[in-house]
Amino acid sequence: MAAADRKKTPILAGVVGWPVEHSLSPLIHTIWARRAGVDGHYIPLAIAPAYDDFAKAMDSLRTIGFAGVNVTLPHKDHALRYAQRASAIAQQAGAANMLTFDDAGAHADNSDVAGFAAALAGARRDGTAPANAVVLGAGGAARGVALALQAAGATRILVANRTRAKAEAVASDIGGDAVDWPARHDALAGADILVNATSLGMRGQPPLEIDLSALSPKALVADIVYSPLETALLKSAREQGRPTIDGLDMLMHQAAPGFREWFGADAVVDAALRAGLVRELERRSRP
């Protein structure tokens, strides 16, 4: 389908994952589309984990005129492999969470990096950049977080991960240092920011065990897990008087580039959007 036809309404976009029903992206895009008066639909699409399933599904979405899709687990590296072109940041991250379809095929991008960078900028009211960072995790999201911290000026980034080889790979790509998973507590000494980028602490996953006592009192504590919204990590940090960033901030900001690209309208991250998402998380947590 030609690009000119693809722009016909209703505009179609979506999020591809396995599973995908937990995703808040459809709600975020629906709120923005309603605000902008855009005639469009953003649909959750469950696509089985194998690359072949993903590639066939992307071919079909392109054929029926989808403008693009967000991509979540386990397809973020598949998206990079499928695309004919990729942004520098997607190549650097080794993963893509956005595919935009056009006449030349698919263009891959990574808005997780900008999403965390925007969440971080919003939390740093005094304008100071964190110099010493500790990132827990070495998956796709952790890599995006580490790149954002690097871009924000962090000069020392420690990456602690259960699988040490993955921590070493991320640390080596960003010029940081790997830390053994059991040593994560001591690694917090002198850090200005701690980011949980593992899936630990998420509803249905094991808890994150971390002793914050080595962390300075003013250090920022961020968790990219957003279900529950206040994870046990953020609760402890708050009770100790530390500033915090929750996972919704990154989630809202990473969604904005896709909406602007595919629906051609502005995507404002504000308190009303957050309130809508918080209501949905509360609804989902009710028995």
Q: How far is the CB of 233 from ligand NAP (least distance, A)?
A: 12
Residue closer to ligand NAP, measured from CB, 120 or 202: 202
Stretch that binds ligand NAP, among 31-39, 42-50, 247-255, 270-278 (CB under 6 A): 247-255
Binding ligand NAP (rule: CB under 6 A), the pick from 60, 155, 163, 216 is 163
Q: Interface with ligand NAP includes 19 (CB under 6 A)? A: no
* Peptide bond before residue 44 is cis, with ω within 30 degrees of 0: no
Residue 47 makes contact with ligand NAP by CB under 6 A? no
| Separation between Cα atoms, residue 88 and residue 128, nearest integer Å | 26
Written as six digits, the tokens of 190 are 């002198």
Nearer to ligand NAP, 35 or 162 (CB): 162
**Binding residues among 253-282 for ligand NAP as defined by CB under 6 A:** 254
Q: For ligand NAP, which is the closer residue by CB, 40 or 140?
A: 140
Which residues have a catalytic role annotated? 76
- Of 156 and 166, CB closest to ligand NAP: 166
Of 224, 234, 256, 273, the one binding ligand NAP (CB under 6 A) is 224
- The alpha carbons of the chain give a radius of gyration, in whole angstroms, of 19
- Pairing assessment for the beta strands 98-102 and 68-71 based on DSSP bridges: antiparallel
| Number of residues engaging ligand NAP in binding (CB under 6 A) | 26
Which of these segments, 3-11, 37-45, 133-141, 182-190, binds ligand NAP (CB under 6 A)? 133-141
Is 73 an interacting residue with respect to ligand NAP (CB under 6 A)? yes
- Which of 33, 142, 267, 269 is in the footprint of ligand NAP by CB under 6 A? 142
User: Where does this chain touch ligand NAP (CB under 6 A) — which range of 6-14, 83-91, 146-154, 199-207?
Assistant: 199-207
Which residues lie below 8 Å from residue 68, measured CB to CB, with a gap of 6+? 13, 98, 99, 100, 101, 258, 261, 262
Q: Is 247 in the site for ligand NAP (CB under 6 A)?
A: yes
- CB hemisphere CA count around 33 (13 angstroms): 24
Report the alpha-carbon distance of residue 7 to residue 68 in Å, rounded: 11
Question: Does 133 interact with ligand NAP (rule: CB under 6 A)?
Answer: no
With CB under 6 A as the contact rule, the residue among 30, 87, 91, 199 that binds ligand NAP is 199
Which residue is listed with tokens 């509803």? Answer: 203
Of 240, 207, 238, 241, nearest to 225 (Cα)?
207
Q: Confirm or reject binding of residue 162 to ligand NAP (CB under 6 A).
A: yes
CA gap 13, 28 in Å, rounded: 12
Torsion-angle region of 273 (φ positive above 0: left; ψ -120 to 50: alpha; else: beta):
alpha
Order of strands, edge to edge, in the sheet holding 132-136?
177-180, 156-161, 132-136, 193-196, 220-223, 244-245
Question: Which of 62, 97 has the CB closer to ligand NAP?
Answer: 97
At position 161, the amino acid (one-letter code) is N
Per rule CB under 6 A, is residue 226 in the interface with ligand NAP? yes
Q: What angle do CA 68, 69, 73 make, to 5 degrees?
A: 160
**Per rule CB under 6 A, is residue 140 in the interface with ligand NAP?**
yes
Task: Catalog residues that contact ligand NAP under the rule CB under 6 A.
Answer: 73, 112, 115, 137-142, 161-163, 166, 197-200, 202, 206, 224-226, 247, 250-251, 254
